[in-house]
Amino acid sequence: MTPRYFKRILLVILAVVMLGLSVHYGFGNAWQSQYTYAFAPAAKAKQAPAPAPKSAKPPTVQEPNTVMTPKPEELSNRVVEYHISVHLVDDAKGLNGDQTVTWNNPGKKEVSELYFHLYPNAFQSDESTFMKESGGKLRQDEATLNSKGYMKLLTLETLDGESLLPRLQYVQPDDGNDNDFTLAKIRLPEPVAPGKSVTLRMGYEVKLPEVFARMGYSGDFVMAGQWFPKIAVYEPTGTRGRTAEGWNVHQYHGNSEFYSDFGIYSVRIKVPEAYTVAATGFQTKPIEIKDQMKVYQFYADDVHDFAWSASPDFVYEETAYSDKGIPGVRIKLYLDPSHAALKDRYMHAAKSALSSYAKWYGEYPYSTLSIVVPPKGANGAGGMEYPTLITAFAAEKQNPGYDLERTVVHEIGHQYWYGMVASNEFEEAWLDEGFTSYAEDKVMETTYGVESNLRVEASYMTDPAPLKQPSWAYGSHSQYAENVYMRAKLVLIGIENQVGSRTMQKILRTYFQKFKFKHPTSSDFQRVVEQVTKTKWHDYFSQYVYDDQMADFSIESIHVRPVTQDGANMYESIVLVKKNGGTNGDIKILMRFKDGSEVTKLWHAEESHMQYKLLHSTPLEWAMVDPKYSNVLDNKLINNYMQAQLPEDTRTRWSLGTVKLIEGLLGSLSW
């Protein structure tokens, strides 16, 4: 047997052993089951999805035709107002839209330019910033040959009929990519004074891509997310710490999601008669049917986006729900036929999430919540949040596990941290994704008894990075996801472990109540933590939010030697503990002797290392840092424990030998 094949056999043996340990300790599915964003079931690339079985749809389907009226109170500053008419055309592969948009100047200076996000242009070519950064992949969803799309502005004019299209200029403030057309600006004929407004009329067409990266078509199914020209956010002085007012504008990036101002949306949606439409907000008119077309009229206020979905195969269910903090909401399910039998699970997850979040953080003020379940093969539209509308994972499995509940719970959590608090996901995605992941875990634990394996999640943090930075500054999508979802959640749990669950709940409720509808920043959250706890948290935020540190502690060495004291034979044990990263509260060190007795020390970890000298009648057997694994930010648990019985040189040789063996096995992969 040649060394080459011998190495391969050793590699296989090592892989089997690691897989066995992974399965035994539940490591194998820890990321997938506890990290909703990272691993959605993937649609097969370049393959048309199989149509849902028509026989699975009940013969009589309830029609979503409940008409409601707006509430008189205003919850946000309502900077923008959209009146949109959109028509689904070209065999559900395109949109024709007209809109009148009014923008109110929230600042104290005249504004001469407007910026518009034209997100569908991300799919115009492989040279767009989004496609270059993502490589045509998002999560495990991959673009197909048909995943091309665009937005073309046909008209752009003032109320007086003056065309502004000649003034339109595509800009790329982040990377200077001349092939990116996702952000445009126009110079207005006259500046908009503070407190005044400007109204423009726009006509456009959208070519939908085969469903990918949150939008598009899959067979007859349509997901219209980020589908209309959207005005960017103009931030007055003081917003998110700004010292001078101005536009916050960015292109559509491979990692980034979105940031918009609050406002009013009145949207008329025209689809073929066989289709059912789910959308942000609620219907203000009964459905109109004429010439084999169906027209829906939706309205939403105090929201910062509008999304809709349509399919001829939706199985519709609706129920009214109220609870403490939920004055009354209609939960609407738009199920794929293959998941019609799972309606009770979807509804239970929605009610559990709404009830928990309302109790913990504050009232859910909207009158509807819609849940769309995409068909098999359309998971590019799955697992996404929009105001009052979420998408579950696609109906890939007939009997999904807790991923069904976890996804619904997670996306409803976004109604708070993305929908109402409305952080800037271009620049501080952790304030939405991390907070939502934290809240999701709480619901899954209290409602379903499903606890996250935080030790395993921390071990996945192989490439930590600062949380407060632009989404496209992360080196890869994996690094972005690990940090803004998982590491951000661990940072919040790290705070909770120091202050207690009751105080943590008070922190989050105070933060939500103070900053809902106000676009806060990381420093705003830090100030709330300090106000509630009456303690300075500068060092903690500096290490884990503004820097890339983890809180790794290790047993560095153990020395045991026999001594004589007062004529008695004793043993002196010296334990060296080292801090290899940031500080995360007091750290316990547990030391056990041969006779079974134990000593626990509490280290404040203000120094880089600590040495403990213990005198005992028997030798020290072992020492362990953080025996109860309360330090959730420790991503290298392998160095937390050390036995004392081996001589130091033997331990060193064994550790070095193990490393060399693994290096040799991995090196064989190059063959």
User: Same domain, yes or no, for 126 and 200?
Assistant: yes
Q: Is residue 462 part of a domain?
A: yes
117 is in an annotated binding site: no
**181 falls within a domain:** yes
Domain boundary among 245, 261, 277: 261
Which of 199, 226, 261 is the endpoint of a domain?
261
In this predicted structure, the answer to whether residue 157 has a pLDDT above a threshold of 90 is yes
Domain count along the chain: 3
Residue 504 has a CB neighbour count (10 Å cut-off) of: 22
Mean pLDDT across the chain: 88
pLDDT for the residue numbered 646: 52
Distance CA(329)–CA(350), nearest Å, equals 11
| 570-587: average pLDDT | 94
- Please tell me whether residue 162 adopts helix, strand or coil conformation: coil
Question: Are 540 and 578 within one domain?
Answer: no
pLDDT over 90 at 312, yes or no:
yes
Q: What does the CA dihedral 20, 25, 28, 34 come to, rounded to 10 degrees?
A: 180
Percentage of the residues of the chain whose pLDDT score is greater than 70: 87
- Cβ atoms of 115 and 260 within 8 Å: the answer is no
Read off the pLDDT of residues 193-240 as tens digits, 9 standing for 90 and up.
999 999 999 999 999 999 999 899 999 999 999 999 999 999 999 999
Which residues fall within 8 angstroms of residue 354, CB to CB, at 6 or more apart?
321, 323, 326, 329, 331, 364, 369, 412
Domain assignment of residue 405, yes or no: no
Known catalytic residues are: 411, 485
Residue 410 is labelled as binding a ligand: yes
Averaged pLDDT for residues 316-339: 96
Helices of type H across 516-604: 522-533, 538-544
Handedness of CA 342, 441, 351, 411 (dihedral sign): negative
Q: Helix H segments across 449-536? A: 454-459, 477-481, 488-499, 501-515, 522-533
Q: How far apart are CA 620 and CA 575, in angstroms?
A: 9
Q: Are 357 and 323 contacting, i.e. CB atoms less than 8 angstroms apart?
A: no
Residues 113 and 169 occupy one common structural domain: yes
CATH number at residue 573: 2.60.40
pTM: 0.87
From CA 377, how far away is CA 51, in angstroms rounded? 9
The answer to whether residue 422 is domain-embedded is no
> Contact 192/105 with Cβ under 8 angstroms?
yes
Q: What's the length of the chain?
A: 671
Please tell me whether residues 514 and 529 are part of one structural domain: yes
pLDDT of residue 9: 41
Instruction: Check the annotation: does 433 bind a ligand.
Output: yes
Q: Is 32 part of a structural domain of the chain?
A: no
Q: What's phi and psi for 653, nearest 5 deg?
A: -65, -40
Which residue, 120, 297, 80, is CA-closest to 205? 120
Tell me which of 496, 529, 545 is where a domain ends.
545
> Which range marks the domain in which residue 237 is found?
77-261
pLDDT of residue 3: 39
Are 537 and 588 contained in the same domain? no
Within this chain, do residues 502 and 626 fall inside the same structural domain, yes or no? no
Q: How far apart are CA 109 and CA 46, in angstroms?
A: 51
